[in-house]
Structure 1
Amino acid sequence: MAVAELGVVVLDCPDPRALAGFYAGVLGGTIDTEFEDSGWITLKLPGGQALAFQAAPGFVPPRWPSPDHSQQFHLDLDVRDLDAAEKAVLELGARPLDTEDRARSFRVYADPAGHPFCLCAG
Structure 2
Amino acid sequence: MINLDAADPAGLAAFYSQVLGWEVLHSTAEYAMIGDGSISLGFGLLPGYSAPGWPQEAAPKRFHLDFYVDDLEKAEAQALALGASKPAEQPSPDRWRVLLDPAGHPFDICLRS
TM-score under structure 1 length normalisation:
0.82
2:55 aligned with 1:84: no
Q: CA deviation at 1:54?
A: 0.4
Deviation sequence 1:29-61 (CA, Å, 0-9, x none): 111227x36x1111012x511100001111000
1:115 to 105, 110, 113: 105
Structure-to-structure mapping, 1:3-18, within 5 angstroms:
8-18=1-11
CA contact (8 A) 1:93 1:111 kept: yes
Shift of 1:101: 5.0
Equivalent-residue separation in structure 2 for 1:89 and 1:99 (angstroms): 16
Q: Which residue, out of 41, 50, 57, partners 2:32?
A: 41
The unaligned stretches of length 5 or more in structure 1 are 1-7
Percent of aligned pairs with the same amino acid: 38
Which consecutive residues of structure 2, in runs of 5 or more, have no partner in the other structure?
Answer: none
* TM-align CA RMSD: 2.0
Query: Following TM superposition, by how much is the alpha carbon of 1:71 offset from its aligned partner in structure 2, in angstroms?
Result: 2.0
Larger Rg: 1
Match in the other structure for 1:75: 65
d(CA) in 2 for partners of 1:19, 1:69? 19
Q: Matches of 1:108 and 1:92 in 2, distance apart?
A: 15
Q: What is the SS of the residue equivalent to 1:109?
A: strand
**Number of positions where the alignment pairs a residue of Structure 1 with one of Structure 2:** 111
> CA separation in 1, counterparts of 2:54 and 2:22?
28
